Structure 1
Amino acid sequence: MRKATACALLVMLLSGPAAPAAEAPRRTSAELMDVLMWNREPVGGPFALVDHQGHARTEADFHGKLLLVYFGFTSCPDVCPTDLQEIARALTLLGAQGDQIQPLFITLDPERDTGAQLAEYVANFDPRVVGLTGSPQAVRAAADAYKVFYEKVALAGSDYTIDHSAFIYLMDRSSGYLGFFPPGTSAERMLTILRPHLVQP
């Protein structure tokens, strides 16, 4: 072994394994809002999650339908259930055409939102809503792809909540990004945007 190589190896052994690269700082909610408002970056993309019935699902499973993608968590006190209720109401108002739309509810709290918890939760809105969870890493990857802001916020004792952005993402039949509805959008307002994308019976 050459002397220089031996010295380099000795330095590596003494110094231990290289430190992992520092994770890039998370962007703020304002920064991500700016991305969405001005379409500065691609929105959406591949995901690998598990539905509320325990089946592995990817975005490819839903090709052929318009997607309404919503990120939240089942113990969300107000915004999440309100927006999901409006999504369900929009599907009801569309009648048979509502079957062209697939609503997805992706939890931002995989620690507590098990498949069973999601199944019970989405049943409160519409049977077509698919709840999705996964490992924290898989959920983070999906949220990052959709430019979702979220973070865990400690409460009294050992409890916590999730601070998160609450947009409803509209994706085309190949999971391409069409736009978003802000929190609190009514079913009627959603219909004005959805109807031009529906196939007439």
Structure 2
Amino acid sequence: MLLRNLLGLTVLAVLVGIIFSIPLLPMQSQNAVSHEMLNDIDRRHAIVFFGFTGCKDVCPTSLAVLRKVLALQKTKPDTPTPAVIFVDIDANSNQRLAERYAKQFDERFIGYHANEQELAKLSQLFGLNISQKGEQINHRGRTYLLEKRNGRWWVDYAINPQGLTADGLINELRQES
């Protein structure tokens, strides 16, 4: 009886550990995406982050990690340099604010403001879960690693904020090369 209870507790502990570690793991995807914000990107990789300029936690933290990716990439010449795109999801914002906010983190970042119709399309393409009521915006804060293959963009990974690290992204970029 004691052995069976111990085994049951062990299985439960393993399952709980797996469930709580899921947000830390990158989610691999193979979805093709097409959107005008990607049309002029002449690189093989792009990193796309959906956020908003008034965010006080996940957005600036994630963009700081992406700035570190570009800084680390300079020290690892065998790593391709990705385009970094910040997509502003705030209906009350505009293109100028999106660009200015993105460039505060790195001059090479691209800021893009998605209007309501574009955001609906992007939500379908990327599996976003965004809601906005006035100034209150809820979103997952995922970062997407895209790769251009045969002239089309593909989402290779969606990374939750808890699992986003510069070293992790650099490793993914090096493996994709």
**TM score, norm. by length of structure 1:** 0.65
Which residue of 83, 93, 100 maps to 1:102?
83
User: Residue 43 of structure 1: SS of its match in structure 2?
Assistant: strand
The Cα of 1:119 is off from its aligned counterpart by: 2.3
In the alignment, what sits opposite 2:160?
A: 182
4+ runs deviating over 6 angstroms: none
* Superposition RMSD in Å: 2.4
* Post-superposition CA distance 1:89-129 (Å, at most 9, x none): 011111175763001111111x3221221122112111111
The yes-or-no answer on 1:47 pairing with 2:35 is yes
Distance, in Å, in 2 between the alignment partners of 1:186 and 1:126 is 17
Q: Tell me: CA distance 1:46–1:38, structure 2 relative to 1, closer, same or farther (3 Å).
A: closer
Larger Rg: 1 or 2?
1
The yes-or-no answer on 1:165 pairing with 2:140 is yes
Distance, in Å, in 2 between the alignment partners of 1:93 and 1:71 is 22
Specify which structure has the higher proportion of helix: 2
Q: Which has the higher contact order (CA 8 A, sep 6+)?
A: 2
Q: What runs of 5+ residues in structure 2 fail to find an aligned partner?
A: 1-22
Q: Tell me: CA distance 1:112–1:148, structure 2 relative to 1, closer, same or farther (3 Å).
A: same
Contact 2:144 2:159 in 1 (8 A): yes
**TM score, norm. by length of structure 2:** 0.73
In the alignment, what sits opposite 1:14?
A: none
Q: Tell me: CA distance 1:88–1:148, structure 2 relative to 1, closer, same or farther (3 Å).
A: same
* Post-superposition CA distance 1:128-154 (Å, at most 9, x none): 11111132111221122100110014x
Contact 1:45 1:145 in 2 (8 A): yes
